Amino acid sequence: MRDRDSSRARRRAVTAIAWMLWGAGTLSAMNLNLACPWSDTCSPPQSPFLAFHSPQSENLLFVSGDVIELQCQAGLRAVGLTWTLHRNMILKPFRTGTAEALPANRFRIRLATAGLPPGFYDVKVELDTGLTNGAKDALARRPVRGVCTFGWQAGALAVAETRPADFKAFWDEAIAKLAAVPLDAREGPLQTFGTQEINGYNVTSACLPPDYDPAGHRTEQVESCKVDFAGPDGGRVYGWLAKPAGPGRFPAMLVLPGAGFAARPRPLEHARHGYVALDIQVHGQEVDLKTYPQLPGYYKDFKYDPPSAYYYYNIHLRCLQAVSYLASRPDVDASRIVVVGGSQGGRLSVVVAGLDPRIRAAVPCIAHASNQPHQRWVARCNGHAEAGNIVPGDGMEVTGAPPVSDDAEGRCLAYYDPMNYAPDIRCPVLFNAGLVDPVSPPFGVWAAFNRVGSADKTLIALDGLGHDWSAEFDRRAWRWLDARMVSEKDSGVRVQK
């Protein structure tokens, strides 16, 4: 019988890490769009004293060669640097060494690729500055540690095949039931925002800089209101709508949130880029409560049997109902609906794009919870016991896909794993992944990306970045969407040259 306490402890540990990272307040826009003030602090595990690069690969993804060379630039006077090599997210190393010191306060690490299964690897380093842990100077707390994650033949990452035989029938039945629920949409009063109001709202309430992409503006005035519509469980789905001011048939954007129970921000920046944008509260809660109760089944008291009792069943259906709401609006061009989101929102972007053929493009960012068998295997390697336990170790005995746990949890999660929706995606997709992201590890994001059925798919690796946002990625994502979605004939939208 599976150890339920261990399973729950494992999930609580992952949740704690996620909340620690979100506390940095840096996830926003397509990545997450938090309802909190902007901050310029990067999410851990970045170290301001250590920077990694390779003369062989700009993004630390390698496909060939006998040796991988990494260089670590130290921002402190350094005596030496030692390293350990790990499979991604596994604590126990399988190699250790001392880096070659270079005159420019830089260190070279050379890693033989022989015997490395395709996938991702963490190089953890410790910098010797000549100071001890007992140094009194608060700025001299030592040792200094850092991590660099690289990919080796990531396109050939071995992934377990867990998609259930009745996967499509399971979701077709759920979608058919949802289609019988009338939308019964309601809309609150519109509020108008100009350039300065959008900029101010971004900084105070949407965890964004005031204006990181002026070249992407398609209008300088937007309108916003609360909306709600019928949900799949007899409740309501609540959201903030924002759109370019004035009449028109615009492309639409569903903005899906990261994990947790929290307020949602108005998607004003998305509307300024020319979209009728909808940011929803996926738990069936209001969008602007002062406090949010945590609902059972999300962080604890999991229900795995039958799979339709799992918490994400209704989350997925609320997202699909949001697509139907957007398609029903007279100001939306229903042939141009896109879905974006980060973390849990990235996960849900893959899900919605896989389930709903009305989605014409998707931008899943730092997508969470993909490749569940691999995640559970990593937990076992790190000492979290469960049925079919693997003795804690470095994981190098597994050269192909990690073993699958055949228990109620594993059987249920196969219906919700983003990588099992990816083969049904036929629209263009733009992913990103933080290589040192401990919340959405690269082995999960690549599992979904590699399986996407669309021929138009791109993944941008954010080497050195954790569970975080990148202004330049978003700027490129807006241009990527422009090339596929936005027409200069959109009525009422001024295209800036």
Binned at pLDDT 50, 70 and 90, residue 1 comes out as very low
Tens-place pLDDT, residues 299-329: 999 999 999 999 999 999 999 999 999 999 9
| Tens digit of each residue's pLDDT (9 = 90 or more) over 98-120 | 999 999 999 999 999 999 999 99
Flag whether pLDDT at 493 surpasses 80. no
Both 245 and 386 in one domain: the answer is yes
| Model pLDDT, residue 135 | 54
The whole-number average pLDDT for the span 111-132 is 94
Confidence band of 385 (pLDDT split at 50, 70, 90): low
The answer to whether residue 10 scores a pLDDT higher than 90 is: no
Over the stretch 474-483, which tens digit does the pLDDT of each residue have?
Answer: 999 999 999 9
Distance (Å, rounded) from C-alpha 179 to C-alpha 184? 13
Q: What is the pLDDT of residue 40?
A: 85
CA-wise closest residue to 411 among 162, 169, 174: 162
Backbone angle region of 384, left / alpha / beta, with phi > 0 → left and psi within -120 to 50 → alpha: beta
* Domain with 231 in it: 167-484
Look at residues 115, 135, 156 and tell me which one is the last residue of a structural domain.
156
Query: In the prediction, which pLDDT does 392 show?
Result: 84
Task: With a cut of 90, say whether residue 59 has pLDDT above it.
Answer: yes
On whether both 225 and 249 belong to a single domain, the answer is yes
- Residue 269, classed as helix, strand or coil, is helix
pTM of the complete model: 0.91
Domain total in the chain = 2
> What pLDDT band is residue 139 in, cutting at 50, 70 and 90?
low
Q: Is residue 39 part of a domain?
A: no
Q: How far apart are the first and last CA of the chain?
A: 63
**The pLDDT of residue 8 is above 70:** no
Q: State residue 488's pLDDT score.
A: 39
Domain assignment present for 118: yes
- Domain assignment present for 161: no
pLDDT at site 384: 83
Average pLDDT over residues 55-84: 97
pLDDT attached to residue 386: 67
State the CATH number of the domain containing residue 448: 3.40.50.1820
- The reply to whether 175 and 151 lie within a common domain is no
Average pLDDT over residues 378-404: 85
Same domain, 152 and 225: no
Does 343 lie in the same domain as 230? yes
- Structural domain includes residue 384: yes
Inside any domain, residue 6: no
> Do the domain assignments include residue 393?
yes
pLDDT digits (tens, 9 = 90+) for 248-276: 999 999 999 999 999 999 999 999 999 99
Q: Looking at the predicted structure, is the pLDDT value of residue 494 above 90? A: no
Range scoring the smallest mean pLDDT among 15-24, 81-90, 110-119? 15-24
Last residue of a domain, one of 89, 121, 156: 156
pLDDT of residue 130: 84
Residues 172 and 135 in one domain: no
Residue 325 in contact with residue 183, Cβ under 8 Å?
Answer: yes
Whether residues 144 and 191 share a domain: the answer is: no
Q: Is the pLDDT of residue 489 over 70?
A: no
Among 137, 156, 175, where does a domain finish?
Answer: 156
Residues 106 and 234 both lie in one domain: no
pLDDT of 9 above 60? no
Question: How far, CA to CA in Å, does 141 sit from each of 36, 144, 145, 426, 439?
Answer: 31, 8, 11, 51, 26
Of the candidates 282, 87, 288, 118, the one whose C-alpha atom is nearest the C-alpha of residue 188 is 288
Task: Measure Cα distances from 91 to 11, 102, 259, 395, 458 in Å.
Answer: 17, 28, 25, 10, 30
Looking at the structure, tell me whether residues 194 and 119 fall in a common domain. no
Per-residue model confidence as pLDDT tens digits over 28-54: 445 546 888 998 888 889 888 999 999
- CATH number of the domain to which 92 belongs: 2.60.40.10
Q: Which tens digits make up the pLDDT trace of 232-250?
A: 999 999 999 999 999 999 9
- Express as a percent the part of the chain with pLDDT over 90: 82
Residues 40-53: b if buried by 16+ CB within 10 A, e if exposed: eebbbbbbeebbbb
Residue 292 CB neighbour total at 10 angstroms: 14
- Residue 249 shares a structural domain with residue 110: no
Please tell me whether the peptide bond between 251 and the residue prior to it is cis, using omega within 30 degrees of 0.
no
Residue with tokens 């399973």: 7
Kindly state the percentage of the chain with pLDDT values over 70: 87
pLDDT tens, residue by residue, 142-166: 679 999 999 999 999 999 999 999 9
Is 18 inside a domain boundary? no
The reply to whether 491 falls in a domain is: no
Residue 3 has a pLDDT of 32
Instruction: Tell whether 64 and 148 lie within a shared domain.
Output: yes
Give the tokens for residue 256: 């899906």
One-letter amino acid for residue 464 of the chain: G
**pLDDT beyond 60 at 361:** yes
**pLDDT averaged over every residue in the chain:** 90
Distance, in Å, from the CA atom of 70 to the CA atom of 100, rounded to the nearest integer, reads 11
pLDDT of 495 strictly over 60:
no
pLDDT exceeds 50 at position 19? no
Q: What is the pLDDT of residue 41?
A: 85
User: Does residue 127 register a pLDDT over 90?
Assistant: yes
Indicate the pLDDT class of residue 402, thresholds 50, 70 and 90.
very high
Q: Does residue 16 register a pLDDT over 70? A: no
Confidence grade of residue 201 (pLDDT, cut at 50, 70, 90): very high
Q: Which residue has the higher pLDDT, 168 or 134?
A: 168
DSSP label at residue 83? E
- The answer on 180 and 63 residing in a single domain is no
